[in-house]
Structure 1
Amino acid sequence: MKVLLVNPPRYNGVSVIREERCEVTERYSVLEPYSLLQIASLLRNDNHNVSFIDLNGLDMGYDTLKDKIERTKPDAVLFRFTPTTFDHDMKTASIAKELNSDIHTGGLCWTLHTLGSQVMNEAPDLDAYITDEYEVASPALINSWENGDNISPGAITKHGYGGNVEAIKDYDSLPLPAYDLLPNLDPYFVTAPAGQPFSILYTSKGCPFKCSFCTVAGTPLKMKSSQKIIEELRYLKEHYSLRTASFFDETFTFNRKRTEEVCRLLKEENLDIKWYCNTRAHLVDKELLEMMRSAGCRGVSFGIESGSQRILDSVGKNIKIDEAKNAIKWAKEAKIKTFCSFILGLPGENWESVSETMRFVKETLPTSAQFNVAVPYPGTKLYEDTYGKDVPNTDFRKLYQDSAVTGTAELTPDDLNNAREAAYRALYTSGRWWGSNLKHVITEPSDLDLAFRYALKIVNNFVFHKMKDAH
């Protein structure tokens, strides 16, 4: 089949991240649609003819999509969507149907995978919604359409659900994403346009931990080998002159031995790539962080969530406050930037626990901090605790991390929004915090450009946008 893969346009001028656990509007990051590139390579392996357009990355509108469809005349269009940009993204399917009603339309969105019937009911131009592992379900759907079948495993169609699919057990078996479909990496960056050319990579997917608020909690963990990771980085270096990579895994350092091997191979290959990763505070130590720094790591994102041990215990985070403090301390000592995310409004939150979070930030002084409000995403324990298991017609379009839709026993949604704004104000007006970052730049002058752009971002975001569409 001729298949067109689409990353829809930006939403009201704001960039959108449409990748599994990060299906959000994000004003200050433009990420390539890695999952669509991975699907493209898998479809090619099945001998399908694949074309691609990243309207979000290129900052183009739906007129460009119309031209693309008219030129390529696809048999099927697959695209990603998010809860809060749902109606906007669904124009992709509507445009395809307007141009040719015989075009098959399929959408991907992990966040809403437990609300498949509702998604299909509210998207009349969508023929199929892929709810399961996209590496398996997407090729299965295209192959089903080619064979004239109306039901496909891992997807909901207007004819019903095709049953579950098993996740790929050998993650190394995946072909390299179809990077050749990208003209270049020029549009892409995270937080601020510095250190380009830039790319994200998945070196693993899934998370065995069971935090009650997380959409990927308890999902099967699949890991690429260190050799496979280096192969992908080498390709990006040779073909795109990659300078900076962000390992987009939920928990990059889950397997310490693999992390050590990646660091060793990066140094042996001398690829000269700076990299960032996400992980949990209890899965790093001083020695490992120093090793990561020596291999090019320049930043680690920690999901701290709260400065209150009581709150962390209530959501099953299984991390101690002292572990979080040590992780930040050790990373800073290794000259690795620390990016810490916090969630205001988790079960049991009150003004005292909010204050504990602020005291934690003032004490540890991470390089950067994100303050989000708790979102009861469908399929999470937090959702069940908030609404119950069977809630018809959830208004998923309101699931923003910068605007609370629910409160706690002691705090209203407005309280949480005010707490979020106050947290950012306290951070951005802290002389100690600015001084800590200035000290880092003095010792790491290569970060001067990034620091300058980040400072401009802060002023623009806080003063003019009031932290909306920023996470």
Structure 2
Amino acid sequence: MREHILLIHPLGYTADPAKTDIARLANLMPPLGLCSIAAYLERQGYRTAIIDCFAHPDSDAKILDHVQSRQPEWIGLTCTTNGFLDAIRIVRLVKAAAPQTKAVLGGVHISALQEKILAQYPEIDCTVVGEGELPLEQLLAGAAPESIRGLVYRTPEGIRFSGLQGRGIELDTLPFPAYDKLEGYPHAYQLPIFNYPRHPNASALSSRGCPYACSYCDRSVFRRSFKYNSADYVYRHMQYLKERWGIRHINFYDDQFTFHRGRVVELCNRLIAEPLGMTFNCAIRAEHVDPELLALMKRAGCWMASLGIETGDPELLAQHRQNPDLEMLARTIREIHRAGIRVKGLLMLGLPGESEESVRRSMNYVFSLPIDDFNLAKFTPFPGSPIYQKIHELGEFEEDYAKMDCMNFVFVTKGMTRERLDQLFLEFYRRHFTRPRVLLGYVAMLWKSPHSWWRFLRNLTSFLRFARSNKRLDG
């Protein structure tokens, strides 16, 4: 029986380096958006499949075999900026083997660039701007393109965009994501090492969107909207993951897990009254937690909270973030620590206006706080972010999609060089990980997260190779 759509998550770069890429090995998250779309379409009566090239490099042969044996009417690919060119490569690969197969692309990069994608890439039949569930259902049903909100499509007169979607689907009406369509789930997927206490673990979403508009964040899919699952739905989702897949720890990948305080209180009270034996991580903004809520979250099983700091330089922060209050951030970090929850700080280096002095201020700020773990990204101006519109005025920008993954300095602000940014980046990481408090914290992970240590030792060769390459760069 012919399949309606094959959903594909591109790898984003060549397969051989991916097999030993420590960044990929240390953090393998399932394509939650595709899983949600697949579950929704299946409930509507459509046959779907998912191939996740990021989790399984060398998937070209698998894709071609799938297309030839099941003959899907459509392939659908989700695209981040750095994965976009690989998505185009896959579309060309499929169409060379099965020209009748139609291709639809969606995701953050597509939503940001809209009509420009079809104008530049004739092999793409149409794209979806915004959420994928409703437009894809209508597309598979054969609806007229102009009637499908969020669709960019071709006509004899040229490329047309049907207009932005409204609020979209209510999240509680969605079935749980189709995790069963992911090869090797859950063991093929891993949270970052030392970011979980128990295994197997999983990533999940309980909301979509963020109402804030910081300069560096791409908001092209959900714009500034925010919608969320009810506490009951989230509890049942956790219960499903525990009973069906044996999951013991969940990372909620929401932009703003605690934005709606009431539902978090309700969820935590339910987890305390009807414990599932699970722990969880979440991402928060400092404005939306308080000591009482943090104490409740700890009782309910919260193990780690991540929050965006971005930079410890007050003047630089004020240029790029709403409510740029470093004192509030410091107070919140200390409150999280006092609640017994691990703290992960999220920072960027190389923002427009960055200087050596601002990097030093960030180091001093971070090292003055009880931060257990941190992630330092290399600032990348993505097409859907507010800063993108004027980025060429602010410094040197190498707009190479394949490198735009927050692991390369594709943008160099005025007054800095790429070489110096790389040196400061490595110094920041080295100083953090050689602090006695941090080192003792990782020793404690021997009993707090033993599976992380097992993964670290298993991939020790890749870690050492990464360290040696960085040492050469630093020298």
Does TM, scored on the shorter chain, surpass 0.5? yes
Q: Give the corresponding residue for 1:5.
A: 7
1:215 partnered with 2:213 = no
Q: Which moved more, 1:324-333 or 1:349-358?
A: 324-333
Q: Give the corresponding residue for 1:203.
A: 206
Letter aligned with residue 154 of structure 1: G
Q: Give the corresponding residue for 1:321.
A: 326
Using the TM superposition, give the Cα deviation of residue 155 of structure 1 relative to its aligned residue in structure 2, in angstroms.
2.3
After superposition, the C-alpha distances for 1:79-130 in whole angstroms (9 at most, x for unaligned) are: 2122223222223212221222111111122134232333224433221222
CA contact (8 A) 1:106 1:127 kept: yes
Q: Tell me, which stretches of 5 or more residues in structure 2 are unaligned?
A: none
Using the TM superposition, give the Cα deviation of residue 452 of structure 1 relative to its aligned residue in structure 2, in angstroms.
6.3
* Distance of 1:126 and 1:175 partners within structure 2: 29
* Distance of 2:360 and 2:310 partners within structure 1: 13
* Distance of 1:15 and 1:166 partners within structure 2: 38
CA contact (8 A) 1:141 1:153 kept: no
* Distance of 2:418 and 2:115 partners within structure 1: 29
Q: Give the corresponding residue for 1:139.
A: 137
After superposition, the C-alpha distances for 1:25-80 in whole angstroms (9 at most, x for unaligned) are: 74521111111111112212332122222232234420111111122111111121
Q: Tell me, which stretches of 5 or more residues in structure 1 are unaligned?
A: 17-24
Secondary structure in 1 matching 2:352: coil
CA contact (8 A) 1:285 1:327 kept: yes
* Distance of 2:182 and 2:321 partners within structure 1: 40
Q: Give the corresponding residue for 1:227.
A: 232
Letter aligned with residue 203 of structure 2: I
CA contact (8 A) 1:152 1:161 kept: no
CA contact (8 A) 1:151 1:157 kept: no
Letter aligned with residue 153 of structure 2: T
The structure-2 alpha-carbon separation of the partners of 1:169 and 1:49, relative to structure 1 and needing over 3 Å to count, comes to closer
Using the TM superposition, give the Cα deviation of residue 228 of structure 1 relative to its aligned residue in structure 2, in angstroms.
0.7
Q: Give the corresponding residue for 1:463.
A: 467
CA contact (8 A) 1:281 1:319 kept: no
* Distance of 2:150 and 2:180 partners within structure 1: 27
The structure-2 alpha-carbon separation of the partners of 1:54 and 1:436, relative to structure 1 and needing over 3 Å to count, comes to closer
Q: Give the corresponding residue for 1:19.
A: none
CA contact (8 A) 1:189 1:199 kept: yes
Secondary structure in 1 matching 2:470: coil
Q: Which moved more, 1:168-177 or 1:366-375?
A: 168-177
CA contact (8 A) 1:96 1:105 kept: no
Q: Give the corresponding residue for 1:153.
A: 149
CA contact (8 A) 1:373 1:403 kept: yes
1:40 partnered with 2:38 = yes
* Distance of 1:155 and 1:176 partners within structure 2: 25
Secondary structure in 1 matching 2:103: strand
1:415 partnered with 2:416 = no
After superposition, the C-alpha distances for 1:299-335 in whole angstroms (9 at most, x for unaligned) are: 1111110111212211133141122222222222233
* Distance of 1:44 and 1:349 partners within structure 2: 48
* Distance of 1:182 and 1:381 partners within structure 2: 34
Q: Give the corresponding residue for 1:434.
A: 439
CA contact (8 A) 1:9 1:60 kept: no
After superposition, the C-alpha distances for 1:149-194 in whole angstroms (9 at most, x for unaligned) are: 5874312223322222113263212222223323531101111397
* Distance of 1:15 and 1:142 partners within structure 2: 33
Letter aligned with residue 202 of structure 2: S
Q: Give the corresponding residue for 1:109.
A: 107
* Distance of 2:154 and 2:418 partners within structure 1: 37
The structure-2 alpha-carbon separation of the partners of 1:151 and 1:28, relative to structure 1 and needing over 3 Å to count, comes to farther
The structure-2 alpha-carbon separation of the partners of 1:297 and 1:398, relative to structure 1 and needing over 3 Å to count, comes to same
* Distance of 1:340 and 1:198 partners within structure 2: 21
* Distance of 2:464 and 2:78 partners within structure 1: 29
Q: Give the corresponding residue for 1:369.
A: 374
The structure-2 alpha-carbon separation of the partners of 1:308 and 1:149, relative to structure 1 and needing over 3 Å to count, comes to closer
Q: Give the corresponding residue for 1:287.
A: 292
1:301 partnered with 2:297 = no
CA contact (8 A) 2:403 2:410 kept: yes
Letter aligned with residue 201 of structure 1: A
* Distance of 2:416 and 2:399 partners within structure 1: 22
The structure-2 alpha-carbon separation of the partners of 1:387 and 1:11, relative to structure 1 and needing over 3 Å to count, comes to same
* Distance of 1:372 and 1:433 partners within structure 2: 19
Q: Give the corresponding residue for 1:189.
A: 190
| Count of residue correspondences | 452
Letter aligned with residue 132 of structure 1: G
After superposition, the C-alpha distances for 1:357-415 in whole angstroms (9 at most, x for unaligned) are: 00012111422112122211112221123237xxxx96434423122222233323333
Identity %, equivalent residues: 24
The structure-2 alpha-carbon separation of the partners of 1:459 and 1:149, relative to structure 1 and needing over 3 Å to count, comes to closer
* Distance of 1:230 and 1:6 partners within structure 2: 29
The alignment's C-alpha RMSD in Å is 2.9
Q: Give the corresponding residue for 2:359.
A: 354
* Distance of 2:200 and 2:301 partners within structure 1: 15
* Distance of 2:114 and 2:144 partners within structure 1: 22
Q: TM-score, normalised by structure 1?
A: 0.87
Aligned equivalent of 1:55, options 53, 56, 59: 53
CA contact (8 A) 1:281 1:304 kept: no
